[in-house]
Amino acid sequence: MLTQKRLENLRPRSKTFRIADTRGLCVEVRSQTGLRCWRFRYRFAGRAKMLGLGTWPAVSLAEARKRCADARELLARGIDPSRDRKEARQAQDLTLEAVAREWLDHRQVAPATLEKDRWLLEDLALPALGRRPVGAITPAEILDLLRGLEQAGKLETAQRLRATLSRVFRYAVSTQHAPGDPTSALRGALRSPRAKHHAAITDPRQLGDLLRALHGYTGTPVVVAALQLSPLLFVRPGELRQAEWAEIDFDQALWRIPAARMKMRRDHLVPLSRQALGILRGLAPLTGRGKYVFPGARSLMRPMSENTVNVALRSLGYSKEQMTAHGFRTTASTFLHEQGFRTDVIERQLAHQERNAVKDAYNRAEYLEDRQRMMQAWADYLDSIRAGG
């Protein structure tokens, strides 16, 4: 076995040579320079291998023996110490950009959500931190980036970027590319933006005026239908504009929206009133041969733009402070509650998530008939106030 004194007395020779210590550990003395390098010689899968453990005296004899013992422990668990070190170095060198792009590739969300994630990362985060090793990024670096957005008055963007980066780092942890999520230390460090509420009409007379304006709109048949269905169905604007004919069941009077397009990632059923079915049947001869119920003006292969309904509302004289496409949801919720419909039935139709998983499954099974009655009553009420009732 090697001793401290023997290590001190080793001198270089014409050729590099090694002197064994114990259990595979040896010291390699380089020719000419006399550099003393620790080596662990072992066999893995029937092949002779060697692992460097540092140089003496920076790594002492005791430390070299400890590193050798650690490598032997990996061997006992069926792990190649050389491969383990290589993977650790690769993980340490993997950049935030590489992990972020891998996370985006594996993300299974609606196209609009994916596009927002991509924008937050590619335009805001990666220019500043993209080349940094993902496992070495500190909370202070991220906070500095988010503070810049705060100072520019973009409080909501800063919050969303923090949340998106947190998802990327959690993915890095799960793939063993980072030791932890540095954004978790920033909770409460950012200013919260004021809650924004979508403008909506909640007065019956004003709603009657709006409905008469919608039915008097002189735009294209596709936009007319989208405008008239918005208050009847009160789904999210993105769900409406991306509606596909294959999802419409005229026989059952149901619109089945797949989970991939829903905010809460769950299938959603929209009962279709007689009025809604009439609008859809009138539109079918125009767009029914294509994929989308509301195709875009430039291409039948794409849905209409996300601002189409809002633009139509502006053309009718309603400002964004008065009414928005999303505001039809608030309008419906307000009136339906006032008319005595049960909150859980209304919330289910709004596709809001039930926090209790058992109750959520029960709601999906039990509330459909209630929702069908509610949606027909709602359509009849809209007809009534549009007529001046």
263 in active site: yes
Contact 54, 35 (CB under 8 A): no
Do the beta carbons of residue 146 and residue 160 sit within 8 Å?
Answer: no
Q: Which of 18, 212, 362, 373 is catalytic?
A: 362
Catalytic: 352? yes
Residue 43: CA atoms inside 13 Å, Cβ hemisphere, count?
3
Among 266, 352, 364, 381, the active-site one is 352
Tokens standing for residue 339: 């008319």
The one catalytic residue among 177, 268, 326, 348: 326
Rg of the chain on CA atoms, in Å: 32
Q: In what order do the strands lie in the sheet with 36-44?
A: 17-20, 25-29, 36-44, 47-56
Q: Is 207 helix (H, G, I), strand (E, B) or coil?
A: helix
User: DSSP per residue over 69-108, as a string?
Assistant: HHHHHHHHTT--HHHHHHHHHHHHH-BHHHHHHHHHHH--
Which is the catalytic residue, given 170, 263, 291, 364?
263
- Are 249 and 257 contacting, i.e. CB atoms less than 8 angstroms apart? no
What whole-number distance in Å separates Cα of residue 385 and Cα of residue 369? Answer: 25
Active-site option among 236, 241, 261, 348: 236
Active site residue 274: no
236 as an active site residue: the answer is yes
197 belongs to the catalytic site: no
Look up tokens 């980036």; give the residue: 145
Exactly one of 65, 67, 177, 329 is catalytic; name it: 329
CA dihedral 135, 139, 142, 147 (to 10 degrees): 180
Is 217 annotated as catalytic? Answer: no
Closest CA to 202 of 305, 350, 335: 335
| H or E, element range at 160 | helix 155-174
Residues recognised as catalytic: 236, 263, 326, 329, 352, 362
